[in-house]
Structure 1
Amino acid sequence: MSEILYNDVTGVIYGSLVQARDIFGGVHLHEVASLPPPSQLPPRPRLVDREAALAELQSLREAPTDAPITLLITGSAGVGKSALSLAWAHMIRRHFPDGQLYAELHGYSDVAPVSPREVLGDFLRALGIPAELIPGDLAQRAALYRTVTQDQRLLVLLDDAMSAAQVQPLLPASPASITLVTSRHRLASLLMRGARSVYVDRFDAEASLALLRDALGSERLEQDREAASELVELCMRLPLALSVAAARLAARPSWPLREMVTALTEEQRALTALTIGDDVALHSALDLSYRALRPDTARLYRLLSLIPGDRFGADATAALAGVSRMEARRLLGELTDANLLTDIEDGRYRFHHALVRSHAYQLIETEDPGEAREAAVGRLLAWYLATAACAERRLRPHRTGLPRDAEPRPAELTDFGGPEDALQWLESERANLSAAVEMAHDRGREATAWQLADAMWALFLFMGHHMERVAVEETGLAAARSCGDRYAEAKMLNRLGLSLNALGRHDEAVARLGEALELWRQLGEREREVGTRRRLGLVSAGRGDHDAAIAELTAAIAAYRELGSGRNTALALMDLAGVLLARGQAFDAVVHLEQARALLRGVDDAYNRARVSIFLGHAHAGAGNHDEADRELRTGLEAMSELGSSAGRAAALEGLGELAERTGRRDEARQRYESALEILGEEGSVGYIRIRARLERLKNYS
C-alpha cells in the first residue's frame, strides 16, 4: 500500500508484512469463520470407460499410510488424463470437507508454465489467508501452506505438471489430504518421494465406440458400424481426437459417418509428411473441425491464441476481434459447440486443451498477415488499459489526470457499478493483466506497457501480490525507459521503490527512490520531488530509524503546505503521527492527526479517513482519553469493514483490545485480541507477535 509506513509501531498498524527474517519456526493461521471451504474443481466431465483406472486410483487411496497421498496420472497427450482425474476427484470430494483446490499448471502449453509461487498465493487466499499477509518468497509461501494444511482434509488437483519441482511446494502437509497430479511424463523425483503412479493408455476399440455412441446415439452409429470402427482407428483411439470428431458429426446429424472417414483420411494424408504418430490423429481431427467453421468463427478461433492469459470473457474477445459483445458471445458459443473451447465459471472460456490452443496459434501464424495480428493485439491491449483505468477510478477516485492514452479506444467500454465490482474484476483478470504488460513491452507498445502497470496499482494496493507487483513494475520501468518518457520513468521508479520497501528490500528501495528523486528535480516537478522524499521517510521508518523518518516527514509536511497540497499534507501528518506514537508522544500525535482529518474532509478518500480514525483511537488511548478512543476506534472499524480492509479491521480491533485492557475489562480485551489474531493470521508478523504478547500478559493476570 502506498500509505503503509511500517509495521513495528507499538499500538498502531498500517498493514501487515511477512518477511523472511520475521518467520520463526511454525506459523499458525485461523480461517475466517464466514469464509466457505474452497470448492475449485471444474464441472465434472462425462467419462467413458476407465473403470480399471478408477479402481486402481481408489485402491491406492485406501492403502494404509500415515503420510499425505500423492497420485500421479501419466499418459500421452490427448489420452484423457485431465478428464479421468477430474471425474475421480468429483467422486471422492465429499471425503474432503476442508475443501478442494485446483490449478492448471500449463506444463505443456503455449503459455508459460505457472510458477508454484503463484499457485501457492491463490491457494492460500482460497484457504482464508488475507492477501496482504501472504509472503512473497516461494519458500515462505510453501512453509505457510504446509502450516495451514497440517490438520486439514483437502483434495488438491494439479493438472498438466511439467516437473516435480513445479509440484512439490503445492503438496499439502496433512496425512488426511490427497493430491492428484497429471503429467505427460513420469516425474521420477516425485515418485522417489512416495508418490504412486497410474498410467492411462488410449482407449481400446470398444471404449472408443462407446464414446462415439454417447455423443451421436446408438442408431446413428449402428447404421455404419464399419465406418465407425475406421473412424476410431483414424483417431488413434485418443479421447481428445474422438471428442473433436464427435462434435463435428453431432453438428451435422445428416452427415454419414463414411463421409467423415473420407475427409479425415484426406486430412491425415496431407499431414503425414509433417507429423507422426498421435500428432496425425490430433491435428487431422482439429483441422477438420476448423475447416467446418464459418469464416468469422474460424477467424476468432485463430485470434484467441493471441490472448496472453489462458481464460477470457466476451468483453476481451470482442475487443480482440473488433466485434460487438453480442457477436463475441455468439462466436464463443459456436467454438464451444465444436468442442474447441470450454465454458467455465463467471461466463469465461478457455481452450478445450493446450493442444487446441497450439493448433490455433499455428493457424494464425500461417493464415493471418502480421499487420492483422498486430492490430488485434493492439485492440486487446487498449481494452485492458481502458478497463483497468475504469476500475482504478472506482477504487481511487482522487487519482485524476493520469495518462491512459493507448489506441485504438475500445468501441464498447467496460465499466463497474462500484469499487467492489472493480476490485473483483482486477483480481479475476490479474494473470491476464500482468501478461498483457509483458506482451505490450515485448511488442514495442511501451506507453501501453507502463500505463497498464501504473493502472494496476489499485489492485496491488488492496490485494498485495508483492512479488508479482515488483515484476510488473520492473517491466513498466523498462517500458518507460524504452519510450524515452522521463516523467513515466520517474513515476515507475517511485512505484517500484514502494513495492521493494513492502518486501523489506530497503536498500533497493532507497536506490530506486533516489533515481526518482533526481529525475523529478531535473524535470522541475517540485510536488513529485516532495512525494519521493516522503517515501524515503517511509523506508527510514520501516528500518526503525525514527529520527531520520521524522526529519524527512517534517520536511515533506512543510513543503506540501507551501505547495497547497492538502491531501498529501494529511498523509504525511499521519505518517509522522505514527512515528510519534512509537516514541510515546501520544498528545503530539493527536494534534497532527486532527490536522490530517481536517485536511481530508471533502476529499474522496474513504480509506485514509478511516485510517485517521484508527490512529486517533490509538493516540487518544495513549493520552488517557478513553471515551474518545472508543468512539474513534469503533468508527474506524465500521469504515474498514465496509471497505473490506482486513489489515484496517485488525488495527481497530487491537486498539479496542488495548483500550479494554487499560480500563480493566480483561475478558473483552482477550476477545478483541483473539479476533484481531484471526484476521491477521500470520504468526511470524510483527503485529501478530505483539498481539500474542498482549494475550500472554493477560493470562499472567488471571
Structure 2
Amino acid sequence: MFDDPLLAAVASAVAGRAVDGMAEGGKALVRRLRGRAAADPAVAAALDHHDLDGQALIAVRAFLRAAALADPDVAAQLTQLGRLLPPPRQLPPPAAWWVNRADDLTRLRRLCGEVGRRRVVVLLVGAAGVGKTALAVQAAAADDRGQDGHLYIDLRGTGGGGPLPASVALARLLRSVGVPEPRLPHDVDELVTLWRSVTAARRLVVLLDNAHSAQQVQPLLPANPHCLVYVTARTALPALVAAGAHLLPVGPLDDAAATTLLGHVAGPQRLTGDPAAAARLVGACRGVPLAVAVAGAHLAADPGQTARRLADTLTAAVATTDGDTAMTATFAAAYDRLPEPAQRLLTIMTAHPGPDFTPPAAAAGTDLPPADTRAALAALVHTQLLTVDADGRYWYPDPVAAYARAHGPGEPERQQATRRIVQWYLAGTLAAAGQLTGYQRYLADFHPQQGLAVPPDFGGRQAAADWLELERVNLVDAVAAAAAQGWHLLAYGLAYASWPLFHLHRHHHDRQVVDQIATDCARHLHHPTYLAAALTRQAWGCNDRGDHNQATELFTQAQQTADQAGDIYERAGALAGYGTAAIALGRHEQAIAASRAALADYHQLGAPRRAALATVTLGRAYIAAGDLETGTGLLAHAVELFAALPTPDPLNHAHARILWGRALTKAADTHTAAVELTAGLTATRALVWPRGQALALLGLGELARHGNRQQEAIDYLHQAEALFNEAGDTEVTEVRQLLQAIATERAQDQQ
C-alpha cells in the first residue's frame, strides 16, 4: 500500500524532522499525525528517547502503517503528506566563489531540455581540480526538474582506496531514497532491479562524481525518462558516450575568471597595486580553479606573503603547461607554509582506511595531542587542503589526497599510521561493546591489540550505538585494511568486537564481509579456537539471513574445529547455534539433542549465562516438537536463570521473557503471558533493540487474537511486521501469515 521511502519520509517528519520550509498545510498534517502517534503509549515511549535515527523512527513507521491500514483518513493524510515533504537534497554546497562558466551552463541547460522525453546523462570530463564537480553542482542545484530529490555519490574513481563497487553505490543510493538497509538484496543484479523500480516514478537529479569507468556507472542509471544524471570523470568513458551520454569537456578558467577567483579567495586588497604579479600567479596556476583557490588561501593566511613572491615560487616549480603540475606546485607552496603538525596530518592521514575521519581518529593516526590535532585540522581546512562537513568529519579533495600520498612519508611510516588508526577503532569498538553487551566474552589477545589508543568516552548505550553506526563504513574498511596488511590478529579482534553493531542492527551485507575476513584471519593464525568462534559468528549471520542450511554446515564445522582444539566453550556455542538452525529447518530431534549437549557443556564449565541461553534454545526446540508443557517449563526456568545472573544480561533476559510469554499464550495462561510480553516490550524499547520489540509485538498480537480481540491483534501485528521488515528478519513471513489468517476469519464471519 505504501512504499518504504514514503513511510520513511513521513515517519521522519512525525518524529520531529524535515518540516522546515514546508507549507502550512503540510505542517498541519505533521502535527495531526504526530498527535495520533503521541497518543499511542508505545510510540510515545520511543519518542521520549529522542533517538530519531533508530527506535523512534521504526516505532513511528510501524504505527503509521498500522493506522493507515485501519483508517482510510490516515491513509489519505499519509499520501498527501508524502507529496509535501522536502525530498532529499544531497548535493555538496555550491562553490563559495563562482566565476564564469556561463557558456558551459548554457550548454548544459540545452542538453537537459530533453528530460521528460528520455533519460539524460551528461558526462563532464576534465583534469583534476578543473572544476567538474563544481560545475555539475551549480547546474544541478539550479535545475527544477529534481522535484523528488537531488542525489549525490562519490564513486572514488581516482582515490587511493580504489573505485567504489557498484553494489555499495547502489545500496547508498537506495538508502538515500528511503529503502531501509536490511531490505537491500545482496546480489548486485537484484540491487539494480530494485533501484530501477524505486526510481521508476520519481523525478530525480543524480550526480555521480569521480567515476572510474562506464561499467561502474551503468548499473547506477535510473531508467526513468524524467531523471537527469550528471557524471564527472578524469577521462572520457567511451562506452557511456556510445550508450547515449552527452560529453562535455571542462577546461581551465580563462585569465580574467581565474584572476576574479583569486581576488575572491585572497581578498581583493591583496592584488591591488600589482596586477602584473596577479596575472603571473594566475598563469602559474594554469587556470585550474583548485590551484587558484589554494594559492588565494595561501595569500589570505599569510599577510607577509606577496602575490609576486608566490608567483615566482610557482613559476619556478611549473615546468610544463600541465594542469596537474600547476596544482602540485600550488599544493607544495601551501604545504611549505603550514606548521609541522598540519604537514604531518595532511600526509599521514592518507593512510586512513575509510572515506572520512574525525579529530580523534586523526590524533590516533598522527600520534599528535588532541589540541595540536584540532589546530592542524583547522589550518588545513583554512588552506583548502581538507574539507569538513557540519558533523565534524574530514576528507580530502581528490587531487590533494594524490599529492599528499605522493609527497608523504614512506610505506613503513604509513603502515604504522594505519595500524594506530585500526587500533583506535578497535579500542572504540571494545568500549562501545562494553556499554551495549558488557557480558560478552572476548578472547584474551584482543585488548592488547589496542596499543596505546584512547577510546571515545561513551556516556551510555545510546552514545555507544550511535558511534558504531556513524563509524560503520570505517570499521568495515579498517577490518579489511588490517587483513590486507597481514595483521591478522588485529583484523580478527576488530571483526569479533563488532558483534553488537551487527547483532542489534543487522547490516547483513557488511556483516558478511566482516565475518568472512574474521574466518580467513583465523585460518592464517592457525588458531583453532579463533576459527571455531569465527565460524560460529559466520553461521549466525547465515541463520539471521534465513540461510539455515548454510548455517547448519558452518555450525558443524565450528563444532568439529572446537573439538580438535579441545575447547568446550566454543563447542557448546556451536552446538547451541546448530540447535537454533535445526529448529528453523524442522529437525526437532536434532535441535533437542544439540541443545542438551550445549547445556551440559555449559554446566560443566560453570557458565550460567550461557547455560541460560542454551535453556532457551532447548525450550524452543521442545515447543517446536509439540511438547508445549516441557518447553514452557524450560523457558520459565531460563527467565529465572537470567534474573539470577551476577552480571546482568538485560537483552537476553527480555528475549527469554518474550519467548516464555508466547509459549504461555499457547498454554492458555493469558494473564501471565500478558505480564511477560509487556515487560519484554518495555525492556527491548529501553535497550533500543528493534528485533526484540518486534518479537514482543508479535507475541502481543498472538495474545490478542487468542482473546478474540481481532483489531488489537491486527494493530500489534502490523507494528511487528514493520519492525521485522525494517531489520530484514525472516519472522516477517510468520506475521504476514497471521494477518492473512485473521483476514480470512473475518471474511468467513461476514458471510
**For 1:628, which of 672, 676, 680 is the aligned residue?**
672
In 1, Cα distance between equivalents of 2:546 and 2:598: 23
Answer whether contact 1:156 1:180 (CA < 8 A) is retained.
Answer: yes
**Residue number in structure 2 paired with 1:13:** none
**Residue number in structure 1 paired with 2:639:** 597
Q: Tell me if 1:426 matches 2:468.
A: yes
SS of equivalent to 1:345: coil
In 2, Cα distance between equivalents of 1:140 and 1:93: 31
**Residue number in structure 1 paired with 2:419:** 378
Scaled by the length of structure 1, what TM-score is found?
0.86
Answer whether contact 1:42 1:344 (CA < 8 A) is retained.
Answer: no
In 2, Cα distance between equivalents of 1:194 and 1:628: 66
C-alpha change, 1:651 and 1:500, in structure 2 (3 Å) is: closer
How far the C-alpha of 1:263 sits from its partner, in A, is: 0.4
C-alpha change, 1:605 and 1:75, in structure 2 (3 Å) is: same
Answer whether contact 1:312 1:350 (CA < 8 A) is retained.
Answer: yes
C-alpha change, 1:74 and 1:666, in structure 2 (3 Å) is: farther
**Residue number in structure 2 paired with 1:485:** 527
**Residue number in structure 2 paired with 1:396:** 437
C-alpha change, 1:688 and 1:535, in structure 2 (3 Å) is: closer
Which one scores higher on RCO, CA 8 angstroms, separation ≥ 6?
1
SS of equivalent to 1:482: helix
**For 1:647, which of 667, 679, 691 is the aligned residue?**
691
How far the C-alpha of 1:260 sits from its partner, in A, is: 1.5
Worse-matched range after superposition: 416-425 or 679-688 = 679-688
How far the C-alpha of 1:478 sits from its partner, in A, is: 3.1
**Residue number in structure 2 paired with 1:20:** none
SS of equivalent to 1:180: strand
C-alpha change, 1:671 and 1:150, in structure 2 (3 Å) is: farther
C-alpha change, 1:217 and 1:565, in structure 2 (3 Å) is: closer
In 1, Cα distance between equivalents of 2:679 and 2:374: 45
**For 1:360, which of 404, 417, 421 is the aligned residue?**
404
Answer whether contact 2:544 2:729 (CA < 8 A) is retained.
Answer: no
1:492-503 paired onto structure 2 within 5 Å? 492-503=534-545
In 1, Cα distance between equivalents of 2:144 and 2:656: 46
C-alpha change, 1:496 and 1:104, in structure 2 (3 Å) is: same
Task: Report the residue type matching 1:258 in the other structure.
Answer: R
Answer whether contact 1:74 1:200 (CA < 8 A) is retained.
Answer: yes
How far the C-alpha of 1:417 sits from its partner, in A, is: 1.0
In 2, Cα distance between equivalents of 1:104 and 1:433: 19
Answer whether contact 1:382 1:406 (CA < 8 A) is retained.
Answer: no
How far the C-alpha of 1:255 sits from its partner, in A, is: 2.7
Answer whether contact 2:529 2:567 (CA < 8 A) is retained.
Answer: no
In 1, Cα distance between equivalents of 2:582 and 2:184: 23
In 1, Cα distance between equivalents of 2:120 and 2:615: 54
- Summarize deviations over 1:424-464 as a string: whole Å, max 9, x none: 22222222222222332333333212111111122221232
How far the C-alpha of 1:370 sits from its partner, in A, is: 5.3
Answer whether contact 1:324 1:412 (CA < 8 A) is retained.
Answer: no
Q: Tell me if 1:617 matches 2:617.
A: no
**For 2:257, which of 207, 211, 225 is the aligned residue?**
207
C-alpha change, 1:396 and 1:101, in structure 2 (3 Å) is: farther
**Residue number in structure 2 paired with 1:576:** 618
**For 2:294, which of 238, 241, 244 is the aligned residue?**
244
Scaled by the length of structure 2, what TM-score is found?
0.81
**Residue number in structure 1 paired with 2:316:** 266
How far the C-alpha of 1:69 sits from its partner, in A, is: 5.0
Q: Tell me if 1:435 matches 2:411.
A: no
Task: Report the residue type matching 1:386 in the other structure.
Answer: A
Worse-matched range after superposition: 82-91 or 72-81 = 82-91
C-alpha change, 1:642 and 1:179, in structure 2 (3 Å) is: farther
**For 2:721, which of 677, 690, 693 is the aligned residue?**
677
Q: Tell me if 1:295 matches 2:271.
A: no
Answer whether contact 1:577 1:592 (CA < 8 A) is retained.
Answer: yes
Worse-matched range after superposition: 373-382 or 592-601 = 373-382
**Residue number in structure 1 paired with 2:74:** none
In 2, Cα distance between equivalents of 1:77 and 1:31: 40
C-alpha change, 1:431 and 1:55, in structure 2 (3 Å) is: same
In 2, Cα distance between equivalents of 1:649 and 1:71: 46
How far the C-alpha of 1:506 sits from its partner, in A, is: 5.1
SS of equivalent to 2:123: strand
C-alpha change, 1:483 and 1:665, in structure 2 (3 Å) is: closer
Q: Tell me if 1:65 matches 2:116.
A: yes
How far the C-alpha of 1:600 sits from its partner, in A, is: 0.9
Task: Report the residue type matching 1:76 in the other structure.
Answer: A
Q: Tell me if 1:285 matches 2:349.
A: no
Q: Tell me if 1:318 matches 2:363.
A: yes
Answer whether contact 1:30 1:681 (CA < 8 A) is retained.
Answer: no
Answer whether contact 1:497 1:509 (CA < 8 A) is retained.
Answer: yes
Q: Tell me if 1:343 matches 2:388.
A: yes
SS of equivalent to 1:78: coil
SS of equivalent to 2:207: strand
**Residue number in structure 2 paired with 1:183:** 233
In 1, Cα distance between equivalents of 2:435 and 2:476: 20
1:431-580 paired onto structure 2 within 5 Å? 431-504=473-546, 508-580=550-622
**For 2:155, which of 105, 117, 129 is the aligned residue?**
105
**For 2:12, which of 13, 26, 35 is the aligned residue?**
35
Worse-matched range after superposition: 329-338 or 192-201 = 192-201
How far the C-alpha of 1:61 sits from its partner, in A, is: 4.4
How far the C-alpha of 1:547 sits from its partner, in A, is: 3.1
In 2, Cα distance between equivalents of 1:645 and 1:621: 23
**Residue number in structure 2 paired with 1:333:** 378
Answer whether contact 1:93 1:155 (CA < 8 A) is retained.
Answer: no
In 1, Cα distance between equivalents of 2:313 and 2:506: 53
- Summarize deviations over 1:192-239 as a string: whole Å, max 9, x none: 555544443322222212211211233433422222223223222111
C-alpha change, 1:129 and 1:264, in structure 2 (3 Å) is: same
In 2, Cα distance between equivalents of 1:148 and 1:607: 35
In 1, Cα distance between equivalents of 2:178 and 2:641: 36
Answer whether contact 1:490 1:515 (CA < 8 A) is retained.
Answer: yes
In 1, Cα distance between equivalents of 2:706 and 2:118: 47
Structure 2 segments unaligned to the other structure (5+ residues): 14-86
How far the C-alpha of 1:581 sits from its partner, in A, is: 4.2
Task: Report the residue type matching 2:264 in the other structure.
Answer: D
Paired residues, number: 667
Task: Report the residue type matching 1:388 in the other structure.
Answer: T
- Summarize deviations over 1:339-393 as a string: whole Å, max 9, x none: 1101123211111x212111111112xxx35554444333223222212111111
- Summarize deviations over 1:469-494 as a string: whole Å, max 9, x none: 23323333333333443332332232
Answer whether contact 1:341 1:350 (CA < 8 A) is retained.
Answer: yes
Task: Please tell me the root mean square deviation across aligned C-alpha atoms, in Å.
Answer: 3.1
SS of equivalent to 2:153: strand
In 1, Cα distance between equivalents of 2:245 and 2:717: 42
C-alpha change, 1:178 and 1:466, in structure 2 (3 Å) is: same
How far the C-alpha of 1:605 sits from its partner, in A, is: 2.0
Worse-matched range after superposition: 332-341 or 524-533 = 524-533
SS of equivalent to 2:124: strand
In 1, Cα distance between equivalents of 2:679 and 2:222: 40
1:117-128 paired onto structure 2 within 5 Å? 117-128=167-178
SS of equivalent to 1:399: coil
How far the C-alpha of 1:561 sits from its partner, in A, is: 3.2
Answer whether contact 2:122 2:231 (CA < 8 A) is retained.
Answer: yes
C-alpha change, 1:72 and 1:423, in structure 2 (3 Å) is: farther
Worse-matched range after superposition: 684-693 or 437-446 = 684-693
Worse-matched range after superposition: 249-258 or 592-601 = 249-258
